[in-house]
Amino acid sequence: MMANLVANPTTAIQMNTIASKKISIIPVLISVLIYFNYYLINPINQPPVMKNLLKEYDFIVIGGGSAGSVVANRLTENSEWNVLLLEAGGHENEITDIPAFSIYLQNTKLNWQYKTQAQNTACQAMKDNRCCWPRGKVLGGSSVLNTMLYIRGNRRDFDQWESFGNPGWGYDDVLPYFKKSQDQRNPYLARNTKYHSTDITGDVKSTIQFYKKQVFAGGYLTVEDSSYKTSLAPVYLQAAKELGYNIRDINGEKQTGFAFFQYTMRRATRCSTAKAFIRPIQFRKNFHLSLWSHVTRVLIDPSTKKAYGVEFIRNGRVETVFAKKEVILSAGAINTPQLLMLSGIGARDHLEELGIPVIQDSPGVGQNLQDHIGFGGLVFLVDYNTSLKTSAFMNLKTILEYIINRKGPLTSSIGLELVGFLSSKNANQTDDWPDIEFMITSATINNAPDIAETAFCLTEDFYDEVYGDIINHNSFNIIPMILRPKSRGYIKLKSKNPLDYPLMYHNYLTNPDDMRVLREGVKAAIAFAETSSLRRLGARFHSKPYPNCKHHPMFTDEYWECVIRQFTMTIYHLSCTAKMGPRSDPMAVVDPSLKYDLQRKSLKIVEAFLRLVKKRKNLHIALNAQVWKVLFNTDKEATGMEFLSDGLKQTVRVRREIILSAGAINLPQLLICYLLNHLCSQA
């Protein structure tokens, strides 16, 4: 037998190939087994789907994403209200829980797989010049697809919102709601009770319990550090110190500086808003969930302009449910303006052009679209085996380490390790209001050729020419991102068919200030990699000229502008398509209490896309829903109170009256909370 194999090398090669394939398929089989046994191994089963819906609900929430999940949770705290949550996708699963797999989920049915219209200002290296815009089509929304980074934003961002005529949205107003939502598992950060809180009422046994008397009762959303870091991670911190930056809690008092990322993870797995806010309420009798339910329009009485119901498609049939009190739109920055326009709310000319009856002329619907964008092509090579390669994910040892111990490379958020906030020369250097963010990752695109096409939509020719000769080379990536873009895109309907995707125009880099800031970010990233800390590892910029930029001298402003327009990278923070503002603003879609003015005020919009100016980051979505927490019924009658007792949140309901005797300072505060209606839940 051995002689035959040696005499026939072709046969030997074929058998070796077959054996290799059998070995490599083991992780795939394990993943399949995990998927189909999810309900057995997961200690908290998924919330049940209601097959037979009621004809009428008090509240109908459209979209079970990062905002809708929070809204459904808070509304159902009132046992007298029945709430229906409609979601176009299905359940998350054990595969979506694995942090390292987030980038691979973008080519699945969990993603709407939107693509923008072709524009020459950006995404030139993508197929057909179209940017890919991943959006979650699953319970939990984009919190099931994202990289789980927990970053609240800058104080000045919120204070600016308030200065634009939006009372109740300043930093001091929203901070309690961030804390109310958060369950911070890092004991060092949890000590700072001014900015963090911990869910000490839960059954989790951790070092956080040591600080029980020092922290306020937190909420459902778990935040923790990653249990896995590459050997490059501490070197990044050393490089930041070398440049004179502080290492700080970027969700604390100040933001400028560097830190390890904080993640929305729980026990080294993804903590989506579905896991955090929906699973704990799955047995509330007043909560109904309908998945795979594609909403086609909000039903609005044209004479009274009262939103009274929702039409949606489920199991191939058109169904209708009615709302006694309110319809709440939380369908995302793309689907919400689409639904508003399909329902007759939008720019009159556009709706009439498509033959949609106009309920209300609202020119701001779908306008003011903003996104955080960065440059994805800054790859730096190193001489040591320090990178996180995709080959580290796909082996039996790694998968078993994750399944058994919840440790190892699979607990990494695709190699994202360090975040930095810095000011370009276009910003005030002495002010703690940075305009650039660094996302530093030890997993680079040259080590993941399989996702270059699916996740980033890069053309094969572009990838091969720029990265083909450094595939699987140890490296790291710095992604500079602009924090306050001035360019504005828009969304419009393709047709009045609700199943047609809308037309999306990003308008990236159409404002020259955006290019100036991002260009300075690229230069700062190269300077970061040239620190002695990283040079000791042989760090050097991969300076392969981009295909369509070779006519520009390397490292000139013209060259950087060219490559930025080639590999323009969305950071997945689409927002602002239903602008929040005072009634004096003709482009505002909702007022500061998140209401759309339909006379009877029966339609509310709760989502990140309502913001008037782009801010930082995906946590704002849950925040907007959190601030919207109801303590009054729709007739503005007081129904109960929330308060802290021994660090624990308590809720009581009243039958008749609440009598305020809180003193000269606290009484006005409580009255203001009442007048703002829904904007305060801690008194």
What residues are labeled active site?
573
- The values of phi and psi at residue 167, to 5°, are -60, 145
Which 8-state DSSP code applies to residue 233? H
Which 8-state DSSP code applies to residue 587? T
| Residues placed in the known binding site | 138, 295
| Residues placed in the known binding site for FAD | 138, 295
Q: CB atoms < 10 A from the CB of 537, how many?
A: 19
Give the contacts of 38 (CB within 8 A, at least 6 positions apart): 93, 94
Structure-token pair, residue 338: 């689409």
Structure-token pair, residue 142: 């984009």
β pairing state of 269-270 and 265-266:
antiparallel
642: helix, strand or coil: strand
Alpha-carbon span 646 to 600, nearest angstrom: 41
β pairing state of 83-86 and 56-62:
parallel
Specify whether the CB–CB gap between 289 and 64 falls below 8 A. Answer: yes
Radius of gyration, CA atoms only, the chain: 26
141: helix, strand or coil: helix
Q: Which helix (H) or strand (E) holds 111?
A: none
Structure-token pair, residue 630: 């109801």
Cα 475 to Cα 63, 69, 241, 308, 533: the distances in Å are 39, 38, 21, 56, 15
Residue identified by tokens 């504005």 is: 488
Short-list 627, 624, 587, 597, CA closest to 609: 624
Specify whether the CB–CB gap between 603 and 325 falls below 8 A. Answer: no
Alpha-carbon span 12 to 388, nearest angstrom: 33
- The backbone region for 615, taken as left when phi is positive above 0, alpha when psi lies in -120 to 50, beta otherwise, is beta
Specify whether the CB–CB gap between 66 and 608 falls below 8 A. Answer: yes
DSSP bridge partners of 346: 361
314: helix, strand or coil: strand
DSSP bridge partners of 319: 312
Alpha-carbon span 622 to 73, nearest angstrom: 11
Short-list 141, 62, 72, CA closest to 286: 72
Which 8-state DSSP code applies to residue 474? -
Give the contacts of 203 (CB within 8 A, at least 6 positions apart): none
Short-list 640, 120, 565, CA closest to 377: 565
Q: What is the largest CA-CA distance in the chain?
A: 98
Give the contacts of 597 (CB within 8 A, at least 6 positions apart): 583, 591
- The distance in angstroms from the start CA to the end CA of the chain is 83
Specify whether the CB–CB gap between 362 and 355 falls below 8 A. Answer: no
The DSSP line for 55-90 is: SEEEEEEE--STTHHHHHHHHTTSTT--EEEE-SSB
